[in-house]
Amino acid sequence: MLLVYASKTGNTQRFVQKLGEIRSLRILTGEEQVDEPCILLTYTTGFGQVPPEVEQFVLHNALWIRGVAASGNRNWGTRFARSADVLSERLGVPVVYRFELSGRPTDVVHFRALYREIRGSQLTGTILK
């Protein structure tokens, strides 16, 4: 399963690099196309909004997105990583994970485990709850 991500300040890109073996595609313009199931990882912008390039990507690829994750800054309180919640509600897919800035080592471990679980459920046809 592909991990598709957007990064403005480099935090989500650094997180993806820490994941190592997971195949990934960076969203630069939003015009990128996928043809396989993916997890969408994004940053949160403004006051909890989804970045414009991610909005554009979703327009063309919504059917392939199996889950969403987001980075954020806990200083934003209830708006922390809110883009994941917005996308989850819009697409009807689960929020897989939220992490602060570029993530801690424990975030990397947890995300890898969740990624494997989601990838496995796609291969066997089971649905995550």
Q: Is the pTM of this model over 0.95?
A: no
Q: Give me the residue spans of the domains in the chain.
A: 2-124
pLDDT digits (tens, 9 = 90+) for 42-87: 998 888 889 999 999 999 999 999 999 998 777 666 777 899 999 9
Q: What would be the CATH architecture of the domain defined by 2-124?
A: 3-Layer(aba) Sandwich (3.40)
CA distances 26 to 8, 29, 120, Å, are: 11, 9, 23
Does 89 score more than 70 pLDDT?
Answer: yes
Report pLDDT for 122.
64
